[in-house]
Amino acid sequence: MLIFKSIIILFLFLLPASAFAAADPGCKSSDCASCHTLTKEEAGELLKNTGGVVRSVKPAPVKGMFELLMEKDGKQGLIYIDFSKKYLLQGFIVDFEKLQTVASHTDELPKLNQPTSVDLQGIPAKNAVVMGNPKSGNKIYVFTDPDCSYCRKMHTELKKLVKLVPDLAVYVMLYPLPAHPEAYDKSRAVVTFKKQDVLDKAFNGKALPAIGTMDGVSEIGEILNYARRNGIVATPTVVLQDGTLVTGFKAAEELKVLLNGK
């Protein structure tokens, strides 16, 4: 899971289909705004049954939808309404190329006070699976979840990275997120065997060796506790050798630049 640069608080709105009036979604020009509009007042009327307040309406990053900044119970979040005004979506939009969330209301969304660095004292490195050169003093730590799609993609990049930088030890810290119920047992298997092939199987969605009920429990617990104490809440998260936190997917070349401090 990627967890992203900022967390978008979602609303659980239950809207009857009759709350929306059908409209022709087809555009008559290249400028969709010229024939498709949604005012804040109109949006408020459509969503009056939700108990939320519409703070702003903008065109969504994806054509054919409006993006609404909503507030409810003192919290803000985004929802989307299509041009026909028949359908509502909740969640976030991800740019496939960058694997990052995109939104028209980025500047208006609440920003979390996330740490930019951590104290490496006490990091449970002994519970990691090490990629690259385990004897190297040049280290990074990667908090990652085997069922997070961004983590799986970045696992491939980490394998490229250790080839680009032979004198590097990548400490893979298994950090299963609650959103991925099967990730915990997969992570326990990885830290139990601490083998590259088992690690690769976990991130490739393949069957893993059987483990006992308590195998890996204490190891994963130590990683989770360290992460929570230090404000690491997203995967993948890279911790550089000076303790700097880098959150989100990064390609091998990007990581190499970060290692060089550029």
The pLDDT value recorded for residue 30 is: 59
pLDDT digits 0-9 by tens, 62-94? 889 999 999 888 778 889 999 999 988 877 787
Token pair, residue 205, equals 């969605």
pTM: 0.63
CATH class of 125-259: alpha beta
Name the pLDDT band for 234 (thresholds 50, 70, 90).
Answer: confident
Q: Is the pLDDT of residue 165 over 80?
A: yes
- Angstrom distance (rounded) from CA 258 to CA 61: 29
Name the pLDDT band for 11 (thresholds 50, 70, 90).
Answer: very low
The pLDDT value recorded for residue 31 is: 61
| DSSP state, residue 117 | B
**86-90, 206-210, 242-246: the lowest-pLDDT one:** 86-90
Q: Which amino acid is at 226?
A: Y
Q: Is the pLDDT of residue 100 over 70?
A: no
**15-29, 73-87, 132-146, 188-202: the lowest-pLDDT one:** 15-29
Phi and psi, residue 239, nearest 5°: -110, 115
Q: By CB neighbour count within 10 A (0-12 exposed, 13-18 middle, 19+ buried), where does 45 fall? A: exposed
CA quadruple 257, 98, 249, 168: dihedral sign: negative
What percentage of the chain exceeds 90 in pLDDT? 62
| CA angle (124, 128, 133) in 5-degree steps | 120
**74-78, 116-120, 169-173, 233-237: the lowest-pLDDT one:** 74-78
Residue 79's contacts (CB-CB under 8 Å, 6 or more residues apart) are: 11, 13, 67, 68, 70, 88, 89, 90
- Angstrom distance (rounded) from CA 109 to CA 236: 22
What does DSSP say about strands 53-59 and 93-95: parallel, antiparallel, or unpaired?
Answer: unpaired
| Of 2 and 142, more confident | 142
